[in-house]
Amino acid sequence: MHYGFNALWMFVDFGKPAPPPDLKMLDFMAAHDLNFIRLPTDYRFWTAGTDYTRPDESVLRILDSYVDESRSRGLHVSLNLHRAPGYCVNQNDLESHNLWVDAEAQDGFAGIWAILAERYRSIPAEDLSFDLLNEPPPVGQYEMTRANHDAIIRRTIAAIRAVSPDRPITVDGLGYGNVPLPELADTGVTQSCRGYVPFALTHYGASWADTSAFPPPVWPGLEWADSTWAIESLRAHYEPWRDLESADAGTGGSKASDRGSARAAVHVGEFGCYNKTPNDVAMAWFRDLFALYHEYRWGYALWNFEGAFGVVEHGRPGARYEDYRGYKVDRELLGLFLDSRVQE
């Protein structure tokens, strides 16, 4: 099982030089027997304009250091394109092309992954995986369909495996990571879901979300999206993901036998609660969420480590911190995070 955090080193502060890896954070993870770090990246750090497949070598060397320093501490690295040519869940309007319909973006997307596959082909599968695209949109948005998504992802998987046949690959669910993809189960990729439900609780007060209609957060019993939310609502939300792990997963309602072996492993690539939700409410929700992840034997990666969604100085009202090697750590949340892992 893979447990850890998202590290935002080559995702935030675009326009500034990419920072070096945060060794203090990595040492913290190693000290707590964590084994997974997801690296969301923004291709613009290494790309000039739309010249997608001619990366800046000096920036890729910084990416190398992220991978090397993480591996040296026993962490599996999940390398992710959070912003890809032609699509990003945040500020998609900044893109020159549309990944779902433009050949330039599709060539660039597959080309970037082929370059990374070649660059890291000597790294063992147990140390590095590729998470192709962060949080594709709902069907119909930006002209994305299940058909063109399927074609783009299959093309990219083939480009990677032509260079690095054993490289583990992860695909995020549609609808921002909430809708599984049984049509891709035959590819053998891991599928990544999210833990941001109900959104009115996890993103209460977030400046980048339309929160005007959000009720004050409570748990259990939040009234949101025509439902009264509690642990059974979370269970219902994840039922399609559980189905994906079973032999009955197929395409468009068909059985697994239509495409051979159609089971897929599931990992929670992101989850968390923003710091405007009161801490007692957030912790009650976390306890139910972690209980399900433990029951389902799913690995998970919190968004993020330090900051508004993290375990370090998140600023959630009512939280208490403990000093640990220069960090102010939410020990209650960290303890729940660690205790909910499945011991193999």
In this structure, the dihedral spanned by the alpha carbons of residues 246, 249, 254 and 255, taken in order and rounded to 10 degrees, is -40
- What global pTM score does this model have? 0.94
pLDDT tens column, 265-280: 999 999 999 999 999 9
Question: How far is CA 45 from its chain centroid?
Answer: 19
Ranges 12-16, 123-127, 304-308: which has the least confidence? 12-16
Could you tell me if 88 and 144 are in contact, meaning their C-beta atoms sit under 8 angstroms apart?
no
Residue pair 181/132 in contact (Cβ under 8 Å)? The answer is no
Q: Is the pLDDT of residue 309 over 60?
A: yes
Rg of the chain over all Cα atoms, to the nearest angstrom = 19
319 pLDDT higher than 90: yes
pLDDT, averaged across the chain: 94
**pLDDT > 90? residue 252:** no
Residue type, 125: A
Domain layout of the chain by residue ranges: 3-195+230-339
For residue 247, the model assigns a pLDDT of 56
- Range name among 47-51, 171-175, 178-182, 340-344 with the lowest pLDDT average: 340-344
Q: Residue 118 is which amino acid?
A: E
Quote the pLDDT of residue 248. 52
Q: What pLDDT score does 254 carry?
A: 35
DSSP assignment of 24-80 equals: HHHHHHHHTT--EEEEEEEGGGT--TT-TTS--HHHHHHHHHHHHHHHTTTPEEEEE
Statement: residue 259 has pLDDT above 80: no
Per-residue pLDDT of 189-211, as tens digits, reads 999 999 999 999 999 999 998 88
Q: Which range among 52-61, 171-180, 207-216 shows the weakest confidence by mean pLDDT?
A: 207-216
Q: What is the pLDDT of residue 160?
A: 98
| Domain covering 3-195+230-339 assigned CATH 3.20.20.80 in the classification | yes
User: How far, in Å, CA of 82 to CA of 117, rounded?
Assistant: 17
> What does the buried/exposed string (b/e) look like for 213-234 if buried means 16 or more CB atoms within 10 Å of the residue's CB?
ebeebbbeebebeeeebebebb
